[in-house]
């Protein structure tokens, strides 16, 4: 349930409510908005006995949350969550583009991609050092050497780094290098890892599981939020359907739906959603028109030679074209790129 404190609620009244709830065995989370304070309480309601929370000083109302996720819900936090990293904001009205190769393959490849991504106006460079591949015989990523190259590219081009973590063993290392830690679709329900991400001091980009409902996706976000990390960015990357012309079915409708249900920023990855570079640009424009807070786009200096996901990667030229096309679309829905 959530306890909405009155406009003028005093600090000691807020502390008093938190104390009473904790005495009854509830876990509490405070959301201090500009307008008012909201206390999220997670626990067994029957333990309240006859206690009327509404009667405590400073309390305006008590609302039961019907969704199974609480901290991720709009009822818990009405204002959009804005994640700030340096002077880059995610969720604050700008559309942030995260672009780069699926996998870091070499210094030359990564730096060429980074140079282009920067020149086209994106603020974030994305590349995998640990790759979740369907086949154990496929390229698995450069591991720490890849992270080091990403860090060098960050210095040289002034870009923020987004990279994937695959397990808890490598989490401390990835967290050291990354500005945003990506959780891939296959790990969306790795609950142990999600809990660990709760104590990391970096924003988490949580991709939607390949066969997950929106509710399951938000429950995964709830694991991270309830473990202590409030900075979660959701990423729609396509789901499995009966359609097999495209790699997945990009669920653009998830953008307005998640924005209705949750305060968390939502971005869209049309590269994995479609699996074919030709369709990336129109779907990226659709995502922005639908209200996405950002995009994740695979860009490779030479897609034909890519070690991973070449078929869906944009050439630098096509990426430049996309960035040009996006600007008026963003403007039409009252936003700007970057």
- Site membership for ligand PEP, residue 132 (CB under 6 A): yes
DSSP, residue by residue, 191-234: HHHHHHHTT-SS-EEEEPPTT--HHHHHHHHHHHHHTT---EEE
Which helix or strand (DSSP H or E) is residue 174 part of? Answer: helix 171-177
Nearer to ligand PEP, 37 or 185 (CB): 185
Q: Which of 102, 162, 219, 287 binds ligand PEP (CB under 6 A)?
A: 102
Q: Which of 5, 21, 71, 102 binds Mn ion (CB under 5 A)?
A: 102
Q: What are the backbone angles phi and psi of residue 240, rounded to the nearest 5°?
A: -75, 125
- Site membership for ligand PEP, residue 297 (CB under 6 A): no
Q: Which does 70 bind (CB under 5 to 8 A by kind): Mn ion, ligand PEP, none?
A: none
- Site membership for Mn ion, residue 193 (CB under 5 A): no
253, burial (CB in 10 Å: exposed 0-12, middle 13-18, buried 19+):
exposed
Q: What are the backbone angles phi and psi of residue 124, rounded to the nearest 5°?
A: -130, 135
Which helix or strand (DSSP H or E) is residue 271 part of? Answer: helix 270-274
DSSP, residue by residue, 100-121: E-SB---HHHHHHHHHHHHHTT
- 320 contacts 116 by C-beta, under 8 angstroms: yes
Question: How many residues form the binding site for ligand PEP (CB under 6 A)?
Answer: 9
- Site membership for ligand PEP, residue 237 (CB under 6 A): yes
The size of the chain, in residues, is: 338
Q: Which of 309, 326, 337, 338 binds Mn ion (CB under 5 A)?
A: 309
- Site membership for ligand PEP, residue 247 (CB under 6 A): no
Q: Which of 100, 146, 184, 303 binds ligand PEP (CB under 6 A)?
A: 184
- Site membership for Mn ion, residue 222 (CB under 5 A): no
Q: Which residue is nearest to ligand PEP (CB)?
A: 184
- Site membership for ligand PEP, residue 263 (CB under 6 A): no
Q: Which of 29, 70, 154, 207 binds ligand PEP (CB under 6 A)?
A: 207
254-261 and 214-226 helices cross at what angle (nearest 10)?
Answer: 40
Instruction: Compute the distance between CA of residue 295 and CA of residue 322 in angstroms, rounded to an integer.
Output: 11
- Residue 296 DSSP SS3: strand
> Least CB distance from residue 277 to ligand PEP, whole Å?
14
Instruction: Compute the distance between CA of residue 317 and CA of residue 336 in angstroms, rounded to an integer.
Output: 21
User: What part of residues 58-77 is at the interface with ligand PEP (CB under 6 A)?
Assistant: none
Q: Which does 179 bind (CB under 5 to 8 A by kind): Mn ion, ligand PEP, none?
A: none
Q: Which two tokens stand for residue 241?
A: 């359907």
> Least CB distance from residue 212 to Mn ion, whole Å?
18
Q: Which of these segments, 45-53, 85-93, 182-190, 317-325, binds ligand PEP (CB under 6 A)?
A: 182-190
Nearer to ligand PEP, 83 or 162 (CB): 162
Instruction: Compute the distance between CA of residue 141 and CA of residue 102 in angstroms, rounded to an integer.
Output: 10
Q: Which of 272, 294, 313, 326 binds ligand PEP (CB under 6 A)?
A: 272
Give the rounded distance of the alpha carbon of 114 from its chain centre: 21
Residues at the contact surface with Mn ion, assessed by CB under 5 A: 102, 309
Residues at the contact surface with ligand PEP, assessed by CB under 6 A: 102, 128, 132, 184-186, 207, 237, 272
């Amino acid at each position: 349930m959530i306890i909405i404190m009155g406009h003028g609620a005093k600090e000691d009244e807020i502390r008093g409510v938190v104390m009473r709830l904790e005495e009854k065995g509830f876990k509490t989370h405070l959301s201090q908005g500009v307008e008012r304070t909201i206390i999220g309480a997670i626990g067994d309601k029957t333990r309240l006995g006859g206690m009327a929370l509404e009667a405590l000083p400073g309390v305006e109302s008590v609302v039961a949350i019907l969704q199974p996720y609480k901290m991720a819900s709009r009822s818990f936090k009405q204002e959009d969550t804005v994640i700030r990293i340096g002077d880059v904001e995610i969720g604050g009205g700008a559309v942030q583009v995260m672009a780069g190769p699926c996998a870091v393959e070499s210094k030359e490849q990564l730096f060429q991609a980074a140079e282009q991504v920067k020149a086209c106006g994106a603020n974030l460079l994305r590349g995998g050092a640990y790759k979740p591949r369907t086949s154990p015989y496929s390229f698995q990523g450069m591991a720490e050497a890849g992270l080091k190259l990403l860090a060098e590219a960050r210095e040289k081009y002034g870009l923020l780094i987004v990279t994937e973590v695959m397990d808890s063993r490598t989490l401390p290392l990835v967290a050291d290098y990354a500005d945003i830690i990506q959780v891939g679709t296959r790990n969306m329900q790795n609950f142990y890892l999600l809990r660990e991400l709760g104590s990391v001091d970096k924003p988490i980009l949580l991709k939607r599981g390949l066969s997950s409902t929106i509710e399951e996706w938000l429950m995964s976000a709830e694991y991270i939020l309830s473990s202590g990390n409030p900075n979660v960015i959701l990423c729609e990357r396509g789901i499995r359907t009966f359609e097999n012309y495209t790699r997945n079915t990009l669920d653009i409708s998830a953008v307005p739906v998640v924005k209705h249900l949750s305060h968390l920023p939502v971005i869209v990855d049309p590269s994995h959603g479609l699996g074919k570079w030709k369709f990336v640009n129109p779907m990226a424009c659709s995502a922005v028109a639908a209200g996405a807070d950002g995009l994740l786009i695979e860009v490779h200096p030479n897609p034909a030679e890519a070690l991973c996901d070449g078929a869906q990667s944009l050439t630098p030229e096509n990426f430049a074209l996309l960035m040009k096309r996006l600007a008026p679309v963003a403007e039409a829905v009252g936003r700007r790129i970057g």
